[in-house]
Amino acid sequence: MADALATLTSGAAEIVPRDGLRAKLELGRPLRVKLGIDPNRPDLHLGHSVVLRTLRRFQDLGHTAVLIIGDFTGRVGDPSGRSETRTLLSAEEMEANARSYFEQAGHVLDLATAEVRHNAEWLGAMDMEELVRLASAATVAQMLDRDDFRSRHRDGQPISIVEFLYPLFQAMDSVQVRADVEIGGTDQTFNLLLGREIQRAYGLEPQVVLTTPLLEGTDGVRKMSKSFDNYVGLTEPSNDMFGKVMRVPDELVARYMRLVTGIDAAEADRVQAGLSDGTLAAVEQKRRLAREIVDLYHGGGAGAAAEERFDRVHRDRELPQDVGEAPIPASAVEEGKIWLPRLLVALGRATSNGEARRLIEQGGVRLDGAVVADPGREFEPGELTGRVLQVGRRWFGRLV
């Protein structure tokens, strides 16, 4: 019991009630552990893996992972942490995002043993009488106790009635699947706790709430998000993944080890202590972290291969051996000449000619390892064919 409890709570931010999980485990049966998924975006990153890895630990100990696909709630939009009302998604967008989510979540979870439910099954079928019963189980005062709702109300920002309904809908999911435990990030605390109240109102034993920390991105400041471009995607190429992890601030290395790798908590604590007193070198521990993460998502040995390529490119300033082909788009050729900024835009390496010029002027573009200094130079197609174009530190393409 003690070992299982320690495993399941490793890295948890909060458990409500404090001894609730122990009591649930003492029931002596597989627990139903719920994770709600609103697939508003198709891409998953290491920040998402924190809660997914927590759910996987329950699976490994024989408990049932209950995945709720928010094909109804996702169209409403979770207001957690929002300063404005979300744009509603179409059913088609939700379905496409859900497919992408499962493909990526399968890198962490055992989807073959998971119970997958769609909440449109019950929420979409609710009649007005059922909706009124659900709404009567909570108060406006409760809703305005949420930090995001309270601040928006204070600042005169609109809050739609639909947003008030969202946490009630999420709570109804817990009623329908008879969740013993619900897990989520700390930004979901209010919603998860409300689930306990609604279960009680429907005559059920309340679920235990287990929250996980929000992972800081590679900038070390804001939570990991694709919007902030501080993310490490779960399905990114191994070389890109390694390079991004190497940008993680030194002070977050042990935290990443604890939250997103298989390195146990005691070892992460040892690393933290060693980094603090100077007995361990931060760069070596960061390399270890990057290898561990790449191996998790690309298989054993992939981390070492990515590290070798990283050193060849960044330390030894050599060209990588596995450069893929980059066909020169016809749109990059005008009057038989190729202007490099136009080529970068055509290859998707810059969004405009102006941005491409700035990349070149800042020394961020190379041909066969040599910096291109003149953004105005034009090339004959034959001058570029077969040469390796490098943009930034991580993108390489052999022009054909």
**DSSP 8-state symbol, 118:** E
For strand 115-118 and strand 64-69, is the pairing parallel, antiparallel, or unpaired? parallel
Give the global pTM: 0.76
Angstrom distance (rounded) from CA 344 to CA 359: 10
Domains of the chain: 2-212 (3.40.50.620), 236-315 (1.10.240.10), 325-399 (3.10.290.10)
Q: What is the pLDDT of residue 372?
A: 84
Is the CA virtual torsion 47, 50, 56, 58 positive or negative? negative
Give SS3 for 210: strand
Burial (CB count <10 Å: 0-12, 13-18, 19+), residue 29:
exposed
pLDDT value of position 83: 46
Ranking 81-85, 89-93, 222-226 by mean pLDDT, the lowest is 81-85
The Cβ-side half-sphere exposure at 52, using a 13 Å CA radius, reads 21
- Three-state secondary structure string covering 126-150: CCHHHHHHHHCCCCHHHHCCCHHHH
Pull the structure tokens for residue 10: 């490793």
Q: How far is CA 12 from CA 125, 183, 209, 333, in A?
A: 35, 10, 10, 55
pLDDT of residue 212: 96
Neighbours of 367 (CB within 10 A): 16
**Per-residue model confidence as pLDDT tens digits over 44-58:** 999 999 999 999 999
Q: Kindly list the distances between the CA atom of residue 329 and the CA atoms of 160, 264, 347, 392, in Å, as whole numbers in the listed order.
A: 47, 48, 7, 20
The residues, any chain, with a CB within 8 Å of residue 228's CB and separated by 6 or more, are 217, 219, 222
The least confident of 304-318, 332-346, 358-372 is 304-318
CA distances to 17, 27, 192, 203, 208 from 24, rounded to whole Å, are 11, 5, 17, 17, 8
Peptide bond into 381 cis (omega under 30): no
Share of the chain above pLDDT 90, in %: 54
The answer to which of 98-107, 255-264, 307-316 has the lowest mean pLDDT is: 307-316
Q: How far is CA 333 from CA 153, 326, 344, 395, in A?
A: 55, 15, 12, 21
Give the span between the Cα atoms of 341 and 382, in whole angstroms.
17
Residue carrying structure tokens 């990526």: 104
8 A C-beta contact, residue 201 and residue 137: yes
Token couple for 383 = 């001058």
- 300 vs 226, more confident: 300
Residue that wins the pLDDT comparison between 52 and 373: 52
Q: What is the predicted pLDDT for the residue at 47?
A: 94
Spell 70-85 as b/e; 16+ CB within 10 A means b: bbbbbbbbbbbeeeee
Summarize pLDDT for 271-315 with one digit per residue, the tens. Answer: 999 999 999 999 999 999 999 999 999 999 999 999 998 887 766
Other C-beta atoms within 10 Å of 212: how many?
22
Question: Cβ-count burial of 215 within 10 angstroms (0-12 exposed, 13-18 middle, 19+ buried)?
Answer: buried
Task: Report how far apart, in Å, the C-alpha atoms of 226 and of each of 10, 148, 229, 233, 342 are.
Answer: 26, 22, 5, 9, 26
